[in-house]
Amino acid sequence: MTPNARISAAIDILDHVLGGMPAEAALLRWSRSSRFAGSGDRNAVRDLVFDGLRRLRSRAALGGSMSGRGVMLGMCRETGLDPVNVFTGEGHAPLPLTAAELAAGQAPKGLEALDLPDEVWPLWQQSLGHRAEDVALAMRDRAPVWLRVNALRVDPQQAIAALQAEGITCQPHSELPTALMVTDGARKIAASSAYRDGLIELQDLSPQLACAALPAAKRALDYCAGGGGKALALAASGIGSVVAHDASAARMTDLAQRARRAGARIQIAAPGSVKGSFDLVLVDVPCSGSGTWRRTPDAKWRFSMPALHNLLQTQKDILDEVVPHVAPKGHLAYMTCSVLTPENGDQIAAFLTRHPDFEQDFQRSFLPPEASDGFFMAVLRRR
Ligand SMILES: C[S@@+](CC[C@H](N)C(=O)[O-])C[C@H]1O[C@@H](n2cnc3c(N)ncnc32)[C@H](O)[C@@H]1O
């Protein structure tokens, strides 16, 4: 595909996303109907779409319309590409710009320039205070890729060497050497033998730092295990017995295979079947995902207050549900990938009021750009 044909494809995909389709589904739909596209084309189109979604409002303002064409025209204007050379109508390039399109567009203002939806701003500002603008601006850029070295298989130096042999270069984090930032070759990870053999896992820096800060335990329960990212990290940290549970069995479908690959011993509990108490209970609850909008930028534009209120109730219910599973003197760790206070500190303050037999050990927030994703953890202790 020519560069302009890739822009045409991105316009079509963005129009589907703007029509309500999740970005991954829109990309898959395009991919299936574009067998001619090679892997380089697919990667380039994906990048155009995701960059466009991270900067949707500002680029639509620059391009003069909230549409695939408007966003790609805005991209041309922002990056200094002459739109007349892109919108040529030749081959598979986008159709030439009309006089109205050429005349439209202006510099983004206010929340347009921050690329945030209006609905989130009051809460964003209350939650982030003086960091509100710079965190919003960080969300406009692509996030780095981080790997977790699986200490059950290798040490960081061995993992770095194995990855290097497959053309993937990494740099260890200064405080947590098992966290590796990929500096080159990120697209080769999924097919690499280092990944297939369980030497490394894909996991963002913030959850890695959060898991590393958890108190030591002999028996841990990951109550909202999903695909098992945290359960695998707990098992790799040397906790002898890890039980993974989720309200949805389907969310844990791949966990047994991932655990085998990683050499991790994880017991999978069917929904609602957890028995007994644990000295560490982790609840990585469903949340707005507002800390991860660099990776899932379409979710940013789906944010709504009614959806947030439903999530707040789910988070509260999960916290109350796990109380019987926290052993006396045991720890309850609460995590979200959100930067919004109602899902974080407020949720913990309300829990401590409802459950005076718990006290807080510590809270920690991670914010981009210095951390990778926005993330929150609170560790509570049963008296
Ligand atoms: C943020 S995701 C977990 C991600 C996972 N811990 C990881 O690291 O890959 C939240 C999970 O909570 C689960 N969940 C939602 N309601 C729940 C409930 N009442 N009890 C247990 N799990 C629940 C969802 O199915 C979802 O998999």
Percentage of residues of the chain with pLDDT beyond 90: 98
Q: Which helix (H) or strand (E) holds 249?
A: none
Residue with CA closest to ligand 1 atom 23: 247
> DSSP H helical segments within the chain, as ranges?
3-18, 23-32, 39-54, 56-63, 68-79, 83-86, 99-103, 111-114, 121-128, 132-138, 156-165, 193-196, 205-212, 229-236, 255-262, 297-302, 305-322, 345-354
Say yes or no: ipTM exceeds 0.95.
yes
Q: What's the confidence (pLDDT) of residue 310?
A: 98
Q: Is the CB of residue 226 below 6 angstroms from any atom belonging to ligand 1?
A: yes
pLDDT above 90 for 371: no
Question: Where does CATH 3.30.70.1170 sit in the chain?
Answer: 146-203
Q: What's the confidence (pLDDT) of residue 350?
A: 98
What SS3 class is residue 199?
coil
Q: Which CATH superfamily is domain 206-382 in?
A: Vaccinia Virus protein VP39 (3.40.50.150)
Please give the C-alpha separations between residue 367 and each of 277, 290, 339, in angstroms, as whole numbers.
33, 11, 8
Instruction: Provide mean pLDDT across the span 281-295.
Output: 97
pLDDT above 90 for 279: yes
Q: Are 225 and 252 in contact (CB under 8 A)?
A: yes
User: What topology is assigned to 146-203 in CATH?
Assistant: Alpha-Beta Plaits (3.30.70)
**10-29 per-position pLDDT tens digit:** 999 999 999 999 999 999 99
Q: Evaluate the omega torsion of the peptide bond into residue 22 and state whether it is cis, within 30 degrees of 0.
A: no
Catalytic residue positions? 337
**142-193 per-position pLDDT tens digit:** 999 999 999 999 999 999 999 999 999 999 999 999 999 999 999 999 999 9
Q: Is the CB of residue 101 below 6 angstroms from any atom belonging to ligand 1?
A: no
Instruction: Give the distance (Å) from ligand 1 centre to CA of residue 352.
Output: 22
Judge whether 118 is annotated as a binding position: no
pLDDT above 90 for 245: yes
Structure pTM?
0.95
Judge whether 82 is annotated as a binding position: no
Q: Distance (Å, rounded) from C-alpha 65 to C-alpha 115? A: 15
Percentage of residues of the chain with pLDDT beyond 70: 100
Q: What's the confidence (pLDDT) of residue 240?
A: 85
Q: Which helix (H) or strand (E) holds 223?
A: none
Q: What's the confidence (pLDDT) of residue 49?
A: 98
Q: Is the CB of residue 227 below 6 angstroms from any atom belonging to ligand 1?
A: yes
Q: Distance (Å, rounded) from C-alpha 102 to C-alpha 168? A: 43
- Which of the four pLDDT bands, split at 50, 70 and 90, describes residue 8? very high
Question: Where does CATH 3.40.50.150 sit in the chain?
Answer: 206-382
Q: What's the confidence (pLDDT) of residue 303?
A: 96
Q: Which of 224, 243, 253, 314 for a ligand 1 pocket mutation test, highest count of atoms within 8 Å of Cβ?
A: 224
pLDDT above 90 for 250: yes
Instruction: Provide mean pLDDT across the span 85-98.
Output: 96
Enter the tokens of residue 248: 């949805």
